[in-house]
Amino acid sequence: MTIPGSIGTGPVVDRHGKPLRALNQFDARAEEPVAVQDDAPPAEVLVTEHGTAAVERPRPGSRASGRVRRIGLSLVVPVLLLVAWHVATEVTGTFASYELPSPGSVVAAGVELATRENGPTFFTHIQISVQRVLIGFVIGSVTGLAVGALVGLSRLADGLLAGTVGAVRAVPSLGWVPLLVLWIGINEDSKVLLVAIGAFFPVYTTVASALRHVDPHLVEAGRAYGLRGTSLLLRVQLPAATPAVVSGLRLALAQSWLFLVAAELIASSMGLGFLLTDSANNGRVDRILLSLVTLAVLGKVTDALIGVVEKRLLRRW
């Protein structure tokens, strides 16, 4: 693409073949309005209707095939592991079934749990765990956002709180359990609260540091245009910190799953963490593997979902 009037693109003429008058900066007015001159956007950056740069987007066909290829590539290792697992248990018999049950028997355990008449089914375990993670994640990340914003924006709050919160953060997840049980009791609240504690810290840390490091030039420009307090936060500081906030949310969700298992390991009658301990006590290795694989898959799926949200949110950055 040749930009009219750009330097080094040969004779500079307008669409009538006359020398382009607008190129002369001493010439107040060009004969023909020339909309875009030599300081037009770089040729390779084309803007689509949605305002995203087309250059970052390869042809649709190659993009789709690229995605298929990536998914295929990421499945190679799990499939190989599954095959190796099957071979080691069913074919060669390297491991006894009480050491490492075969993939087939893990699936069978899942089916049995899912269809059983008495007691919580497999789906009940999943449902209650997902519910605890989501509620805890929302509470923890909203609180993390609020406290992080406070510490990131106010020097006073930073001085008062940053040290204490950092120390509390160092407490391991299981350390909270006795106190939560003592103060709140053995119920949903204590488990959700533990998950919330897990979700709080990644959001708090990333938000506080991102807000502290927002480009001071942008903040000053915002102030110069009459933005202050909440309007400055909402229009300049939070949007500038959004990429960091989103990655903090992603970390928080992962940490929520870790804290969930801690919450369910002790004092629960449902959930994947309970299934894990219960099976360990009963020597059901197949169910242990079942709950581990389920936790891995659920964690990955929720992470992928938040990844989609991240992509949509950050399209403008």
Partner 1 sequence: MAITAPITVRSHPAHPVAVRGVGRTFPPRDRGGRAKAVLADVDLDIAAGEIVALIGASGCGKSTLLRQVSGLDAPTAGQILIDGTPVAGIDDRCAVAFQEPRLLPWRTLAQNVAIGLPRGTDRTAGAQRVTELLELVGLGECTGYRPRQVSGGMAQRASLARALARNPGVLVLDEPFGALDALTRLKMQDLLLEVHAAEPTTVLLVTHDVDEALYLADRVVLLGRPDGAPTSAPAGVRSVVTVPGARPRDRADAQLALLRAQLLEGLGVPSHHVAHDADAHHSI
- Binding footprint of partner 1 on the chain (CB under 8 A): 22, 25-26, 28-30, 33-42, 45, 47, 51, 53, 217-218, 220-228, 235-236, 239-240, 242, 316-317
What is d(CA 26, CA 39) in angstroms, rounded to the nearest whole number?
Answer: 17
What is d(CA 37, CA 16) in angstroms, rounded to the nearest whole number?
Answer: 16
- Of 53 and 114, nearer to partner 1 (C-beta) is 53
Q: DSSP for 84-152, please give it.
A: HHHIIIIIS--S-TTTS--HHHHHHHHHHHHH-SSS--HHHHHHHHHHHHHHHHHHHHHHHHHHHHHHH
What minimum distance in Å lies between the beta carbon of 208 and partner 1? 21
Angle at 158 between CA 154 and CA 160, to 5 degrees: 115
- Of 16 and 29, nearer to partner 1 (C-beta) is 29
Q: Is 201 exposed, middle or buried (0-12, 13-18, 19+ CB in 10 A)?
A: buried
- Of 237 and 302, nearer to partner 1 (C-beta) is 237
What is d(CA 254, CA 59) in angstroms, rounded to the nearest whole number?
Answer: 34
Q: Which residues of 262-290 are buried (b: 16+ CB within 10 A; e: fewer)?
A: bbbbbebebbbbbbbbbbeeeebbbbbbb
- Of 41 and 78, nearer to partner 1 (C-beta) is 41
What minimum distance in Å lies between the beta carbon of 126 and partner 1? 38
With contact defined as beta carbons under 8 Å apart, do 252 and 117 qualify? Answer: no
What minimum distance in Å lies between the beta carbon of 316 and partner 1? 5
What minimum distance in Å lies between the beta carbon of 160 and partner 1? 23
What minimum distance in Å lies between the beta carbon of 162 and partner 1? 22
Query: What SS3 state is found at 47?
Result: strand
What is d(CA 197, CA 194) in angstroms, rounded to the nearest whole number?
Answer: 5
What minimum distance in Å lies between the beta carbon of 224 and partner 1? 4
- Of 35 and 304, nearer to partner 1 (C-beta) is 35
- Of 98 and 317, nearer to partner 1 (C-beta) is 317
With contact defined as beta carbons under 8 Å apart, do 62 and 56 qualify? Answer: no
- Of 22 and 275, nearer to partner 1 (C-beta) is 22
What minimum distance in Å lies between the beta carbon of 151 and partner 1? 23
What minimum distance in Å lies between the beta carbon of 153 and partner 1? 18
DSSP bridge pairs for 47:
53
On the CB side of 192, CA atoms within 13 Å amount to 13
Region of 122 please: left (phi>0), alpha (psi -120 to 50) or beta: alpha
- Of 69 and 316, nearer to partner 1 (C-beta) is 316
What minimum distance in Å lies between the beta carbon of 167 and partner 1? 29
